[in-house]
Amino acid sequence: MTTIEVDGRSIQVPSDLSVKEALEVLGFSIAMHPSDKGLFMPCQVGGCWACALEIDGAHRPACTTQVQEGG
């Protein structure tokens, strides 16, 4: 397990997840189309950067960035 911080809250998730997968485990909805409800993450391979989040002070694609302890 890896401890990550989401919206100021420390949470444990499995270590082998991407940030996108960790958000899904935490109950966030992922949207494939802009009209769908949830976080818009259409390409799932990091090419479009639509899923970019601030991770450890830098913008990174959530779909391809692995969770890291304390991140």
Q: Are 26 and 11 in contact (CB under 8 A)?
A: yes
Instruction: Provide the mean pLDDT of the chain.
Output: 91
- SS3 assignment, position 22: helix
Q: What is the pLDDT of residues 23-34, one digit of tens each?
A: 999 999 999 998
pTM (2 decimals)?
A: 0.85
> 20, 63 in Cβ contact below 8 A?
yes
